[in-house]
Amino acid sequence: MKVLLDKLGVRKLLNFGVTEHLGLESSVRVQLSNLIAVLGIFSNIQYSIFFTITKAPYYQVMNFVHSFVIFVFIIVFYFNIKGKYSLSRIFLVFIMPVPLLCVSTFSFGTTGGFYYYFLVFAIVPFVLFSYDDKWWILFLFLMNTAFYVWFEFFGKPGIFEEGTLLYHKQVQDLFRINSVVSCLSFVALFMFYFLRNINRIHKEMIRVNDHKDRIFSILAHDLKGPIGIMSRYLGYLTDSLPEREELILGLKELKKSTNQSYLVLENLLDWVQNETKKTQYNPKSLSLSLLLKNAIDILNIQATDKGIQWEVNLLNDHPIYCDERMTSTVLRNILSNAIKYSHPKGRVVIEAELVSSSIEVRFQDQGIGMTEDLLKKIIEGKRFTSEFGTVGEKGTGLGLLVCMDLLKEQGGSLHLTSRPGEGTKIIIQLPLAG
């Protein structure tokens, strides 16, 4: 069904004016206004053809009215594309009753049941406007209901010329049946579309709440430890006059805790920005070896404390075309994980080679590895509980998720292989400059 809609261009038509800056609820209302405009154009073309074939009274005038209404529906699309959503809805709700008023007043009268559509139009504002527009909803509901009541109780049947198709009662009944079926179909379509998007909004709320819980969890647990350590050491340094060796040890611990806190905050901010589509991508030509050196320097204290040895094999320093902040974040996260999950006095191997128009960087550690279940969750981007490191280091569970998102944003990729007890191998691909 989706493929068919894409081929017909219907999905593109329904998304006219929908931008990434609109919230989900606002996007749904724009899509609904486009849907109503599409149905309106189709209905007016259909009835214009029927009226001409059956030689309905004043069908030439009705064809002019239908043409005018179709033109206004096209303007509705234009307003949505230009972001004038309120104006688009106002045009839409006031143009819909026009052909019905004309056909029920001087063409068909109450014959054919066209005035039933006023009941549909009385419902439309409830799905098209938000609660903040309640006075518009009430006004449009009462207006369309009043039109229906007027034609139901005070309207007169149409008078048709003898010899035309409409002169026959069976043809008149066919129009009435068509009106009833069309009204019910339109109501069902609106309600189905609205319920579908209510379901989407519900899922989005669950996702947002899940993200909020994760953020609070990270702030409460993963930042509490490093900041507590910094507070204790600062208190110790200010309350006493330590020896030089103690001072150096304290400053090293402070730097380590600061780096850990910084990495947690950076991951958290990158993850939130990516989820809210606010990540800024500014690519330029960069030195991969320099980025790796900076990342290793930042994490060198943690690596030295665990006795981790770096084995870097970069044959040529080919320039990459990437965002510096994003790429630095990716490298720091991968190297931080390699340190965290490596056994003391372990080794981390970093290699790079050209692969087509990109450079492939491989990171191999000899640490604790991952289970298949954990690996699957990471690859699928699902929420998981981060394991403790080999000496009790705590992770956020965001690092690799952030890496995959940031690499994808730059046209890169991340591949992950791991086995429990055998270590982890991460391969990233980055686009080359030029």
Q: What is the pLDDT of residues 111-169, one digit of tens each?
A: 888 999 999 899 888 888 888 888 999 999 999 999 999 999 988 888 888 888 888 88
Q: Domain range holding 64?
A: 2-208
Assess if residue 123 is contained within a domain: yes
What span, in angstroms and rounded, lies between the C-alpha atoms of 66 and 48? 7
The per-residue pLDDT for 128 is 86
pLDDT digits (tens, 9 = 90+) for 52-66: 888 888 889 999 999
pLDDT digits (tens, 9 = 90+) for 308-330: 898 888 877 778 898 888 888 88
Q: Are residues 81 and 164 in the same domain?
A: yes
CATH number at residue 344: 3.30.565.10
Q: Are residues 315 and 168 in the same domain?
A: no
Q: End of a domain among 175, 208, 241? A: 208
Higher pLDDT pick, 246 / 322: 322
The per-residue pLDDT for 267 is 64
The per-residue pLDDT for 224 is 62
The per-residue pLDDT for 1 is 40
Assess if residue 53 is contained within a domain: yes
Assess if residue 213 is contained within a domain: no
Q: Residue 1 in 3-state DSSP?
A: coil
Q: pTM surpassing 0.85? A: no
Q: End of a domain among 171, 188, 208? A: 208
Assess if residue 319 is contained within a domain: yes
The per-residue pLDDT for 375 is 81
Assess if residue 172 is contained within a domain: yes
Quickly count helices (H) and strands (E) in the chain.
16, 7
The per-residue pLDDT for 5 is 43
373, pLDDT greater than 90: no
Assess if residue 257 is contained within a domain: no
Q: Residue 360 in 3-state DSSP?
A: strand
Q: Are residues 190 and 295 in the same domain?
A: no
Average pLDDT over residues 178-205: 80
Q: Give Cα separations from 99 to 95, 127, 257 (angstroms).
A: 8, 22, 72
Assess if residue 230 is contained within a domain: no
Amino acid at 273: Q
Token pair recorded at residue 240 = 């006493």
What span, in angstroms and rounded, lies between the C-alpha atoms of 333 and 404? 11
Assess if residue 23 is contained within a domain: yes
The per-residue pLDDT for 72 is 93
